[in-house]
Amino acid sequence: MDYPQADIGVFGGSGLYSLLESPAEVTVHTPYGDPSAPITYGEIGGRVVAFMPRHGTSHTIPPHMINYRANVYAMKQMGVSRIIGPNACGSLQAHVKPGDFVVCDQFVDRTKGRKDTFYDGPQTTHVSSADPYCPTMRQVAVETARELGISVHDGGTVVVIQGPRFSTRAESRWFASQGWEVINMTQYPESYLARELEICYCNISLITDYDAGTAGATPVTNDEVVRVFAENTEKIKSLLYAMIPALPEERPCLCATALEGAVF
């Protein structure tokens, strides 16, 4: 089936269930099953943008049950070559405050049992994830955030836990002791699957709380996460609306050629 084509994809996280004004909608079918929701699409600054809430339109899909392969493949079928993945995250370090944005440059995977590759054989394919986030998109995100007066951290490691439970204090202290800045439940395998399809990917972590092991932190609740994200929804939308037109047409980054030398 031929689907409408878009330039840039956005996955909405907790609290971000819509993005575009007066969008069209299409239901995309994939070899990996159904995506989280139909894709809405429309223009932002002259670029055609495809949007999907990764948890579904009413947040009915918990992190460990998201069909990440279907979601990313659906974006590929829409012709998307770049994906922006904003999400709600906890902070593991005191200097990374609730309300801050972190444009991550590394992840640590602590999930289990998730379908995390498109290449199950018989052709063996190993795609490098040494630098998992697009450097071009990261630079544009950071520069645009600063121009908008948003408190943003250039780089940081996100540790991705399985969910749906939050961390124990001991786990949280362990993650913090490694120097990691951000904790989240959805960045893996979403970001890596994009790399396997040679799609550029940029994470924008909106810090909603201090994780349980951070000094002086009270245990996080879902209500608090949603409250802080909702307070900053317009801020993330403003960043996306300014960032998307600023992305260059060309893709000289390593993401665009990720499969070169990866196939045995």
Q: Is residue 123 part of a domain?
A: yes
* Closest C-alpha to 35, from 85, 79, 69, 64: 69
Q: Is residue 2 part of a domain?
A: no
Q: Is residue 98 part of a domain?
A: yes
Q: Is residue 3 part of a domain?
A: no
Spell 72-86 as b/e; 16+ CB within 10 A means b.
Answer: bbbbbbbebbbbbbb
Q: Is residue 263 part of a domain?
A: no
Q: Is residue 262 part of a domain?
A: no
Q: Is residue 203 part of a domain?
A: yes
* Catalytic center residues: 209, 211
Q: Is residue 212 part of a domain?
A: yes
For 147-184, how does the pLDDT look when each residue is reduced to its tens digit (9 = 90+)?
A: 999 999 999 999 999 999 999 999 999 999 999 999 99
Res 215: pLDDT: 62
For 24-35, how does the pLDDT look when each residue is reduced to its tens digit (9 = 90+)?
A: 999 999 999 999
CATH of residue 226: 3.40.50.1580
> How many folded domains does the chain comprise?
1
β-bridge partners, 102: 153, 205
Which residue ranges in the chain fall short of pLDDT 70? 215-222, 224-225, 229
Domain boundaries, position 134 = 8-257
- For the question of whether the overall pTM of this predicted structure is more than 0.85, the answer is yes
